Amino acid sequence: MNAINISKTAYRNFAALFICVLLAACGAGSVGNAGSNNESVSITATANTTAQNLTLNTAMASFSPLTASGGAIPYTYSITSGKLPENLNLNTSTGAVTGAPTATCTAANVVFSVKDSNNVVASTTSKVSFTVKSTGGSSPSAGPVEISAIGYGSETTGAGSSPATKVSVSNLADAQAAIDAYFGTAGLEITYNGTVDFSAYYNTAANTGTPVLDQNGVALNQGDILTCTLNGQSAQVLEIKGSSSKPKSNITIIGTDGSSAQFGIHITSTSNNIIIRNMTIGLTPGGGNADIISLEGNASSGVPYNIWIDHNNLFTKNILCPGAGDSSFDGMIDVKKGVDKVTISYNWLHDHEKTSLNGFSDSDTVTRHITFAHNIFENLTSRTPLQRFGYSHMLNNYFSNIGTSGINVRMGGYSLIEGNYFENVQNPVTSRDSSAIGYWELRNNNIASPADFTTYGIKWVASGSTPTKDATDWSTTAVFPAAEMTYTYSVDTPSCIKDGLRNVTGAGKGLASLKCN
């Protein structure tokens, strides 16, 4: 019995010794080694949620939304929700936010998180509000109702405050009847309250029949196929055409909020002092024969002047219909053959191929003066605008997602390009595709030098035409002639345009102006 008991004791001691050796070999139970890289303690974080109230173009103090401890180092910090104001950056290794904001921002709520090198995420996050105000201490807002045009069309009064004739219409036929019945200068105000259901044109369901391909061989969906049928239809146009014996002057066409139309407007001959406001016009039929808004002179019967196009929403689709290509729709706002003293302001111009033609051809030499102020040019292909001869002032516009070319100044024309915001634009300022180049003066745009091109998504693709000039050096090619700047104006900062213009541009915005400071 004693021999057996001794054997059991020895066995137990041996087993205990074996287990200790095994644990030591596996690295377990070694208190002295624990914590050399904080692996044995789960990652935790302390949040700093202090709101960051920043000033435009002023460097912020380094700010750390989270402080991590425990877990396996190194740590990685990230943003899980929201976006930092422009030109602020998060250091993913240290967790510090730094930079000098270059755009105003009313309230950017950003959520930060941190993980360790084992990809274990701390349970604590930090939600921080960032506000960026201009030097004056205010953010963009809707200003007072715009009661008169700025720029070259500033003398435009339209029907005035007490027109002789006021009519309300809901369709093209009634609007045309009102125009046809009116002549003289006593004043005509047309209020348009019709509506169009555009939803079928945006049906994204796949076509169930024989595939229909666009010009690039891409299959069209049901909505796009329906859209392409518009190209083969007759143009639907409200014609405003005066004559020496029956002038048509002092006219205002204004849409009610929520109204929409599917016809264009053509102002020609001696028709002058005309305002078009608060209209939503889209997907106009007629292909290359139908601009949305066309201003056109006539050598024999006169030219329109004093025109104000304001607070409208104009659109079609960026689509290359089979057999039509970029003539699936024609111009959005075309100004040609001698038309003068035009202001185009606070319009949302979007989803279209050929946006604005200023000058019918290289032989359309009559001088034009056009102000483009506070417009949004968005999801467009080209001509924002295309200018031949004459003078244009591109003031405080917002250019976003322009596919081929933006401001194209040709045939000796001059453009003052001032206080604009460009982002994701190919060839934003150029002179190409004519027998002579044009000139530009660049002032106080968000792009200050070629170093900004990458920041704002600016791309350049050389033209095969001769002569040609691109603003790849982002410098002025000729000072805008002082004698041609015939009005006074103020300039908003590009950052205010970026942050605030969308709130007041287009139809249904109460005809409000932009208030930056």
The residues annotated with a catalytic role in the active site are: 383
The SS3 of residue 34 is coil
Cite the beta strand spans of 226-283 per DSSP E: 237-242, 249-255, 264-269, 272-277, 280-282
Per-state percent for the chain, helix, strand, coil, to nearest 5? 15, 35, 50
* Beta-sheet pairing, 313-315 with 76-81: unpaired
Q: How many CA atoms lie within 13 A of 490 on its CB side?
A: 7
HEC profile of 141-188:
EEEEECCCCCHHHCCCCCCCCCCCEEEEECCHHHHHHHHHHCCECCCE
Distances (CA, A) of 290 to 233, 285, 308, 324, 453: 10, 7, 20, 13, 36
Q: What tokens does 332 get?
A: 């959005």
HEC profile of 456-476:
CCCECCCCCCCCCEECCCCCC
Pick left, alpha or beta for residue 33 (phi over 0 → left; psi -120 to 50 → alpha; otherwise beta). alpha
Q: Give me the phi and psi of 231, to 5 degrees please.
A: -60, -30
Q: What tokens does 321 get?
A: 């219909």
Residue owning tokens 């016809």: 263
Q: Give me the sign of the Cα torsion angle 110, 114, 119, 124.
A: negative
| Of 417, 339, 410, the residue nearest 372 (C-alpha) | 417
Cite the beta strand spans of 34-75 per DSSP E: 44-47, 52-55, 66-69
Q: List all residues 6 or more positions away from 92 whose beta carbon is below 8 Å from its beta carbon.
A: 76, 77, 78
Q: Are 430 and 469 in contact (CB under 8 A)?
A: yes
Rounded distance, CA 284 to CA 368, Å?
26
